[in-house]
Amino acid sequence: MLEALKERVCALNRRLPTEGLVKLTSGNVSGRDPSTGLIIMKPSGMPYEEMRSEDMLVMRECGHILEGTCAPSVDTETHLEIYKHKLDIHGVVHTHSNYATSFAALGLEIPPAITSVANYFGGPVPVGPYVSVGGKAIGEAILQYIGRSTAILMKNHGVFTVGSSPEAAFKSAVVVEDVAKTIHLAMAIGKPVLLTEDQVESAFEFYQYEYGQK
């Protein structure tokens, strides 16, 4: 079932290492089918180069597996908690991408010192508290701290991103790592100059409503 969505989710998982967002088997991408509400989850601990769309699991929001024989990702409950409470979210990505996670290691948000941060995340990329890995509690903390951003850093852990599709969540995961790298480099040579609240707001609105092909 949901073969097309399984292929999309599998392809995005396989892109995690090629985009430099994960090493070995860490990280995960999931997607929710808008019409059935069913969720496609990545299998746990499977090398990305061996992963095929038929290895993807199909599950209900409660975690009940309808299709798939592999054990699901250890972060499954976290993804499910997000889907349960955010009905407009149809994609979730988790990585430990290096630059973004360096902010998480310090318990720091990524400040809006370049327009891309404002464009994509509408303010600083927030940082949530440390919560032990894998359960529902980390999902609850993400929902509590993410605000209007599509990315959040979880302290001492890594990055979670959300989107209206698995592709949108994946794009946020790529962008958050890219802006984190730039700000990290800026912090190595000085103190970043922050955009004002008005500048953040207009950059965010511009990107939401004006950017791209209409």
Is residue 128 a contact point for Zn ion (CB under 5 A)?
A: no
Tell me which stretch binds Zn ion (CB under 5 A): 9-17, 85-93, 98-106, 157-165. Answer: 157-165
Among the listed residues 82, 65, 69, 66, the one whose alpha carbon sits nearest the alpha carbon of residue 28: 82
Binding mask 14-33 for Zn ion (x = CB under 5 A): --------------------
Instruction: Establish if 158 lies at the interface with Zn ion (CB under 5 A).
Output: yes
Coil, strand or helix: which one is 161?
strand
| CA 78/CA 164 separation, integer angstroms | 17
First vs last C-alpha separation in the chain? 33
* Residue 139 touches Zn ion, criterion: CB under 5 A: no
User: Rounded distance, CA 4 to CA 84, Å?
Assistant: 22
Tell me how far, at minimum, the Cβ of 158 lies from Zn ion, in Å. Answer: 5
For Zn ion, the closer CB: 32 or 79: 79
With contacts defined by CB under 5 A, name the span among 98-106, 152-160, 169-177, 181-189 that binds Zn ion: 152-160
Provide the minimum distance between the beta carbon of 3 and Zn ion in the complex, in angstroms, as a whole number: 28
Q: Which is nearer to Zn ion, 47 or 190 (CB)?
A: 47
- DSSP annotation string for 93-158: EEE--HHHHHHHHHT--B---SHHHHHHHSSSB-EEPP--TTSHHHHHHHHHH-TT-SEEEETTTE
Q: Which residue has the tokens 């404002």?
A: 118
Shortest Å, Cβ 94 to Zn ion: 6
Q: Which residues bind Zn ion (CB under 5 A)?
A: 158
